[in-house]
A = this chain, B = another copy of it.
Amino acid sequence: MEIITDIATLRTRLQREPSIALVPTMGNLHQGHLSLVRIAQQHAACTVVSIFVNRLQFAPHEDFDHYPRTHADDCQLLEKLAVDIVFLPDEKTLYPVSQEFQLLLPPLADTLEGAFRPGFFRGVATVVLKLFNIVQPQLAVFGKKDYQQLHIVQKMVQQLNLPVEIMAAETVRSADGLALSSRNSYLSEAERQQASDLFRTLHHIKQTIAQGNRDFRALEQSARSNLASHGWQVDYIALQQRETLLPAQVGDTDLVILAAARLGQTRLIDNLEILIQEPAINTMERISNPSSRQAV
């Protein structure tokens, strides 16, 4: 495994590769990241994992300074997987001058995560675009854990005609359901015990929908109240259309519940896809005739 820190060396090294897959990360790697790496390795001759804590996507009040940096451990994990190249640029390499050329994103980037983390997706999209231009991969792998990020990167690739295929990897979870995340390390032991509330809440919404409930806004509100009563500060719980990430309406069948909530100082996000296979229930009818649920 080669560790490369500068752009010119990386480009020269990659010239001879017939196919390249990129896994962009901020390091502090866990099994979630490693699952992305395995997907990359199955689809390209050469896998590049980039590790870069991207200042551009952190708001001033956020945890840029404290974000866990564990490069030695990360490289050991990647070495075990026989990754070809780790790209480990420092800040001056990716941002030699103030990054004035950035991406202007669709309004969707100001909703959900974007509403609570202003500039986050602009920072993400800009660094991803730069990494694509540096590595020139045919393939890049992103996790569904950051669902809205994945969505925005896919749209960016379409709208900017980027010559790269985006592959999505399923979220990896602990036994209790908590989605793996570098930020889980911020949790106290007690908070860690409680953290799986978030996934259980999403799962409960999914079950309730499977049972026929289509009052999406009420489901969001009740989940929010439930988490709040257990000490969470909820940023959002939103039932959206999977294709557009706009709010789901009765009749939509391909959904995703997205959530962000804070436990103490730690902000966690998670999501769950829901495919409705049964016919939609008419909400008005259900309200006027509560027993109709059983008829479906």
Contacts and interface: CB of A to CB of B under 8 A. Distances in A.
Contact of A104 (B102, B107, B160, B163): B102
Interface in A147-200: 155-156, 159-163
Contacts of A155: 100-101
Contacts of A105: 100-101
Nearest to A130: B161
Interface in A87-142: 97, 99-107, 122, 125, 129-130, 133-134, 136
Contacts of A100: 105-107, 155, 159
A106 B97 CA distance: 12
A: interface residue count bin? 20 to 34
A129 B156 CA distance: 12
A11 interface: yes
Given A100-B105, A101-B155, A130-B160, 15 more contacts: A7-B161, A11-B163, A100-B106, A100-B107, A101-B103, A101-B104, A101-B125, A101-B156, A102-B103, A102-B104, A103-B103, A104-B104, A130-B161, A134-B161, A134-B163
Interface of A: 7, 11, 97, 99-107, 122, 125, 129-130, 133-134, 136, 155-156, 159-163
16 contacts: A11-B163, A99-B159, A100-B105, A100-B107, A101-B103, A101-B105, A101-B125, A101-B155, A101-B156, A102-B103, A103-B104, A104-B104, A104-B122, A130-B160, A133-B162, A134-B163
